[in-house]
Structure 1
Amino acid sequence: MIRVGIVGAGGWAGASHLPALAGLAGFEVTAVATTNQASADRAAAAHGVPHAFSGAGALAAHPDVDLVVVSVKVPEHATVIRAALEAGKHVLSEWPLGVDAAEADDLARSAAAAGVVHAVNLQGYRSPDARYVAELIAGGAIGRPESVVLVAAGDPLGGARIAPELAWSTDPAAGTSLLTVMAGHFLATLDRMAGRLVEVSARLPRRYDDVEVEGTGRTVPNGVPGQVLLHGVLESGATASVAVHGGSGTPDGFFVKFVGADGVLTVAPTRPGMFMHWTDWDIRVDGVRVRVPEDYRTVPFDPAAGPVANVAAVYEEIARSITEGRRPHPDFHTAAAHHRVLATIERAAETGATEKVCW
């Protein structure tokens, strides 16, 4: 039994991590921590968790915790992760791993030195749909890959308005933007399907110097992009074109098109309002729908329900890596590599030049 302590037990953790863990054998949530003891006590009582803490250090040090889950704002990730590593505990961090590539690299080195299992919740890597598309492409379903186009919505980030609980994300130093969060997830999922991006040119338009905080009548300065546009080359030699558009509402979907020498494979959502790393897909080869084999779906959750299924698949991978004494995939090194991709995109947008990606 893997005993789990969750730092940041509300919001996203309550919608994904806690229900995922509740439905998986081999895991038990034994502790939660929030910003104050009263809210931690409420979260523990709501989920039947025996221990509640007002700080990450106390949670990580507790003997009833084997795995620390980091589900707090990105600027707080490093502090919580280091507390877990100092306590010798396995750790799962939300994406982005850190506020920038330098911090992510440092955390990856520290985790490796600590000798614990370290994973990052880039759940698109564990998506059964992404895994199956990768096998179709590698197996020659469309012949030699020539190009891929990805278009996706990144709401609720990047628009003219921002929700009050996300108003802090308009500061670039916070590490949370349309580029780092949404494009980061989408590019990682593309990487799982088609391989690494090795060369890129980019634009990161920022349409608004100030954005409205919804329902408050006030605005906040905005220093992050509202659109992500890039062209590049994958390690296979295929070209890649990616557009991630921001907005202030519910995401209206995504579309991916792979063109090969012998055919076309497309990916689209099966229902509205879902990000590509959250849900199951409508996959078609030359217009004919292809079903993902049932043995690819290894967790007891319906992917129609949202992000829980793919988050649960990340936990399954962590359990296997602990049992087998190996690194999970994706781990902190994977996350640090994707941070370097994002840094390269930012550099390409600044210079206007085509930049090589250093993996």
Structure 2
Amino acid sequence: MIRVGIVGAGGWAGESHLPALAGLDGFEVTAVATTKQASADRAAAAHGVPLAFADAGALAAHPDVDLVVVSVKTPGHARVIRAALAAGKHVLSEWPLGVDAAEAEELARAAAEAGVVHAVNLQGHHSPDARYVADLVAGGAIGRLESAVLVAAGDPLGGPRIAPELAWSTDPAAGTSLLTIMAGHFLATLDRMAGRLVEVSARLPRPYDRVEVTGTGRTVPNGVPAQVLLHGLLENGATASVAVHGGSGSPDGFLVKLVGSEGALTATPTRPGRYLHWTDWDIRVDGERVAVPEDYRTAPFDPAAGPVANVAAVYQEIARAIAEGRRPHPDFHAAAAHHRVLAAIERAARSGVAEKVR
């Protein structure tokens, strides 16, 4: 039994991590932590968790916790991760791993030195649909891959308005933006299907110097992009074209098109308002729909459950890695490499020329 302590037990963790763990064998949530004892007590009571803390370090140090889950705002990731590593605990961090590539590299080195299992929640890597598409491409279903196209909605980030609970994200130093969160997850999922980006040209338009905080009548300074536009080269020689557009409402879907020497594969959402890494897909090869085999769906959740199914698959990978004494995928090193992709996009947007991914 893997005993789990969740730091940041409200919001996203309540929508994904806690229900995912509740539906999996081999895990027990033994502790939660928030910034205040009263809210931690409420979260623990709501989910039947025995331990509640107002301090992440105390949670990480408790002997009844084996795995620390970091589900706080991005600027707080490093502090909680370091506390978990100092306590010798396995750790799962939400994406982004850090506020920038340098912090991510530092955390990856620290995790390696600690000798624990470390993972990042880029759940698109474990999407059954993404895994199946990757196998179709690798198996030659469309011949040699020549180009990959991704168009996706990044709402609620990037628009002229921002929800009050996200107003802090308009500061680039917070590490949470249309580029890092939405494009970060989408590009990681594309990587799983089509291969790694090794060179990029990019634009990061920022048409709004200030954005409206919805329902408050006030505005806040804005330093983050409203769109992510890039062209690039994949490690296998194929080209990639990506457009992630921001907005203020619910996402209106996505389109993936992989073109090969012998055909084309497309993927679109089966239901509106879902992100690429959250839901099941309508997959077609040369216009003919193909179904994902059931043995790809290892998590005990219906795809209609939204992000819970793919988050559960991340936990299944962590359990296998602990049992087998190996690194899970994606781990902190993979996360740091993905941060380097985003850093190359930012450099390319500033320079106006193609940049290598370092």
Same fold (TM over 0.5): yes
1:105 is matched with which residue?
A: 105
- Equivalent-residue separation in structure 2 for 1:142 and 1:95 (angstroms): 32
Alignment of 1:243-258 (within 5 A): 243-258=243-258
Question: Does residue 1:47 correspond to 2:47, yes or no?
Answer: yes
2:231 is matched with which residue?
A: 231
Alignment of 1:128-147 (within 5 A): 128-147=128-147
How many angstroms does 1:16 deviate by?
Answer: 0.1
1:82 is matched with which residue?
A: 82
1:327 is matched with which residue?
A: 327
SS at match of 1:146: strand
- Equivalent-residue separation in structure 1 for 2:298 and 2:146 (angstroms): 32
Q: Deviations over 1:158-185 (max 9, x none)?
A: 0000000000000000000000000000
How many angstroms does 1:104 deviate by?
Answer: 0.2
- Equivalent-residue separation in structure 1 for 2:135 and 2:39 (angstroms): 45
Q: Which runs of 5+ in 1 are unaligned?
A: none
Alignment of 1:180-199 (within 5 A): 180-199=180-199
How many angstroms does 1:296 deviate by?
Answer: 0.5
- Equivalent-residue separation in structure 1 for 2:334 and 2:273 (angstroms): 27
- Equivalent-residue separation in structure 1 for 2:300 and 2:186 (angstroms): 24
- Equivalent-residue separation in structure 2 for 1:122 and 1:103 (angstroms): 17
- Equivalent-residue separation in structure 2 for 1:293 and 1:224 (angstroms): 40
2:309 is matched with which residue?
A: 309
SS at match of 1:136: helix
How many angstroms does 1:202 deviate by?
Answer: 0.2
1:91 is matched with which residue?
A: 91
How many residue pairs are counted as aligned between the two chains? 358
Q: Deviations over 1:82-135 (max 9, x none)?
A: 000000000000000000000000000000000000000000001110000000
| Percent of residue pairs bearing the same amino acid type | 85
SS at match of 1:88: coil
SS at match of 1:179: helix
- Equivalent-residue separation in structure 1 for 2:3 and 2:305 (angstroms): 25
- Equivalent-residue separation in structure 1 for 2:198 and 2:61 (angstroms): 41
How many angstroms does 1:304 deviate by?
Answer: 1.1
Q: Which runs of 5+ in 2 are unaligned?
A: none
2:151 is matched with which residue?
A: 151
Q: Deviations over 1:210-259 (max 9, x none)?
A: 00000000000000000000000111111100000000100000000011
2:173 is matched with which residue?
A: 173
- Equivalent-residue separation in structure 2 for 1:267 and 1:53 (angstroms): 43
- Equivalent-residue separation in structure 1 for 2:323 and 2:146 (angstroms): 39
Q: Deviations over 1:173-204 (max 9, x none)?
A: 00000000000000000000011011110000
2:344 is matched with which residue?
A: 344
SS at match of 1:153: strand
1:7 is matched with which residue?
A: 7
- TM-score between the two structures when normalised by the length of structure 2: 1.00
- The amino acid that maps onto 1:55 is D
- Equivalent-residue separation in structure 2 for 1:273 and 1:136 (angstroms): 26
- Equivalent-residue separation in structure 2 for 1:128 and 1:276 (angstroms): 12
Alignment of 1:66-77 (within 5 A): 66-77=66-77
